[in-house]
Structure 1
Amino acid sequence: MIVLIDNGHGSDTPGKCSPDQKLKEYLKSREIARKLELELNLRMVDARLLVEEDKDISLPERCFRANAYCDKYGKENVLLVSIHCNAAGADGQWKSAGGWCVYTSPGKTKADDLATEIWNAADERLKDYKERFAILQAQGAYDSKQKP
């Protein structure tokens, strides 16, 4: 099994940063991707970055790169994980980001089972955070639409 880690948007993608320009999605997603790659490799999982560049790589090029791995190792042996940092806010006010999400491709695939397992594991690991989330949300730290 090879885990391909796609680190979201590039440095030249318009927007994709916090209002004060301090958090740049391309930098944070690459930081997370590198940590994930290292952690998986330490656990003897063959993890590789799909995009080494800081600049934005087009979706067709990302697909081409991922498909090259699938052609070489078999699509059943390749898992693609794409990391993005989404904004959090409402009513013109920025809020603390308070959640995460897992998406898979349309239609029922093996990825759905893996996504469910990842979600369930994170749900258990984040139990303490979820309990604090409601208190912080009541204090205005999170938008009412956000879920932990």
Structure 2
Amino acid sequence: MRYKIEGPPADAALAPKSLAAIEGHTGQSRRLLERLLYLSCGLATILAFIGVKLVLHALHENNVPLINDGEPVRVVEISTLQSLVVIVGILADAEQTVRSLPDEYRALIQERHSLREMLADAHARQAAAAAQA
């Protein structure tokens, strides 16, 4: 059995409506994109913190004979409240970094957005050409 992969809808009347829907959300998506730029750095820091917390907890609950003869190791325990404070602090720092972003980087964000618009226009033209053929 063969499957046919279809592109965007061939109805040219649908393309402007969907493009208008996309353009209606541009302000929201720009703000979201600005925040997502530094989210990966913040998430990497949060994952590193969680990894350290897990290692410390494993040492505190130690039952491996190779480490301290299977006896618990006296290490700092990080509470849930302390973890939440650290995670919120990291995310707040990432947010502050985005807010202090130089104008040249904000221009790059806008270029990415215009590229997305150009791709949507190209898809609409392709759908219109396919409908005429």
Tell me which interval the TM-score lies in, with the shorter structure as reference length: under 0.3
Structure 1 length-normalised TM: 0.24
Greater relative contact order (CA < 8 Å, ≥ 6 in sequence): 2
Structure 2 length-normalised TM: 0.26
